[in-house]
Every structure is written in C-alpha cells, then in structure tokens.
Homo-oligomer: A and B are copies of this chain.
C-alpha cells in the first residue's frame, strides 16, 4: 500500500469523462486530502482551452482542465479517475501514465486492469523508483470474518441504498466531515475505489473473494474502532439482482448500530436492470433492519436523498415524501447538509 499520510500534488486523469463519468475524480476533488493541480480531459481541453474545474463543479477547489500530463504543473501523483465500462485501461492513456512515471510521480488506479501487471509500466516504475497502486487489488492475507465488529465500543454507522450510485460514498463522506466539524472523534471506512483513494488506505470490497466480503469489512471497522463514531461506506443494495451479495457481506461484516438509507429522487428501477422496480423505502427499511438483526441489531435512523437534478422546491417535496415513506428524518446531504442525521445519532 502506498504511503499517503502526506498531502500530495495530484493530477487526475478523466479523459472524456469529466465530471459526470468520473466519480473518482469528483470524489477526490470534493473529499480528498490532496491538492489537485489539474484534471486531464482532452475532450474538454480541446474545445475550451481555458476550461477549469469551476466551470463544471461548485464547492470544490478549482484547477485547470488540461489535455495532456506534460501540460500540468508539477505533481507527485497521477490518479486514473475515470472508469470505462468493463474496467479496462484505455490505450490512449499510455502517454500520460508514461510521462507521469518518467517525471517521478506515483500512479494510482482503480481499474480491473492492473498497472503492476503491465510490463512497460512495471519496468518504468522500477527504473524511476515510483509506486503503482492498484487500488482494487485486495490484500493477500484476507480471510473470513471473525464476527467481531459488533463488539467495538464505537457507534458504527453504515450507508445502505435502494440501488447502486445513490450517494452512499457522498453521504458517508458528508457525515464523516460534518461529525469532525462538530468536534466528534470520527473515523471513515471506505469500501469502494474512490473512498479508498480518498482515505489513502482500505479494501475495495467488491473485488475480494466472496467468502471474504464480511471479513474485509470487519477488518476496516476494527482498524477504526478507537474512534467514537465510525462511518462505513456501503455498496449496492440488498435487493440488487447482481450486487446484493456484496451489500449483505458488508452489512454483516460491519454490524452497524445505525444505517442511513440512500436513494436518488425519482429513480424507479434498478440502474442497468430496468425490468426490476426498486423496492419502496418502507420495504427497504424493514429488510435492512430484519436482515441485520440476527447478527447485530441496527436501525435505519435517517434517509439521504440525492436531489441534484431537481429545483429547490421539488427537492424539498422529494425529501419530505421520502421521509414520510421511510418513516425517518431525511435530507439531501449535499444540498441541505447532514445536521439532522447527526442529531439522530
């Protein structure tokens, strides 16, 4: 694992993806501890040579959007912050990665394609004494859960969802940061690639051997257990036709005391599996609590609704509607903050 306690100067590769298909790039800008010196998106850079991050995103540190790595200010880390379908490495990114390594920068990526198994990159990295961090590669010593996460003194809070991409990472980070702003002693357990890059450490749980899903989550919770509050990033949904196994392993591995149910306003079917309608909020609340109970009692204490595509009035209505259905206080963490959720803890 790469040492990341220092503050780095990061260049984020997001070709043809910024910002909507570059979740990792946006996550690093919004929540990362590092200075982002630039974002690579050659499509944007070609059409608008002076484009900046602030043209696309509010409330994050600004940076130039560039076409090539050799146009960037000095950086010590290149992060591949976009993931094409299938998780492959696009050949057109090679010059940027090569340039980064040759300039002495580490490279981080969360692709299925492993940088460390790429012959050229591995050789170059050795020559230039830089680290290639394949964030998705699980640790070799993972094992099954010991069933111990429920024994920690910390209050463990897990984000759960109605589907993938409903704001679990964002909600977890907003809760973690707001808790620290209140002076609470809080820890963060990432389970996905963006979260792991933001934290600088952790296990991408959906890439572990399925028998070790709960064990990987447990390891994260135990490592953070000296905090008063531990915020665990969830994945998928317990009712997802393809990914529910990961969700269930995280639920029983983390043994949360409290859960926050994340949903995107207006979404009615499973993303990418449109023949499967989403379960109703009240059904999801019951299912998560009923499934948690035999292992560790935990309650859904709040809802987190992503309303980014709605206007202010519609967003208020959507939040109220979700709160009524789910029977718990609800917010849009980005739009309205997470004060109520922290109060509910």
Contacts and interface: CB of A to CB of B under 8 A. Distances in A.
Q: Which of A208, A209, A294 has the most CB of B within 10 A?
A: A294
A275 interface: yes
A275 B276 CA distance: 37
Contacts of A245: 210, 213-214, 245-250, 252
A286 B295 contact: no
A249 to B, nearest CB: 3
Interface in A240-282: 240-253, 255, 270, 273, 275-279
A239 interface: yes
Contact of A248 (B146, B248, B276, B286): B248
B242 A145 contact: yes
Contact of A214 (B242, B275, B294): B242
A244 B252 contact: yes
Contacts of A253: 241-242
Interface string A208-252: 111111110000000000000000000000111111111111111
Contacts of A277: 294
Nearest to A211: B206
B295 A290 contact: no
A331 to B, nearest CB: 25
A7 B228 CA distance: 61
A288 to B, nearest CB: 10
A147 interface: yes
A325 to B, nearest CB: 15
B294 A291 contact: no
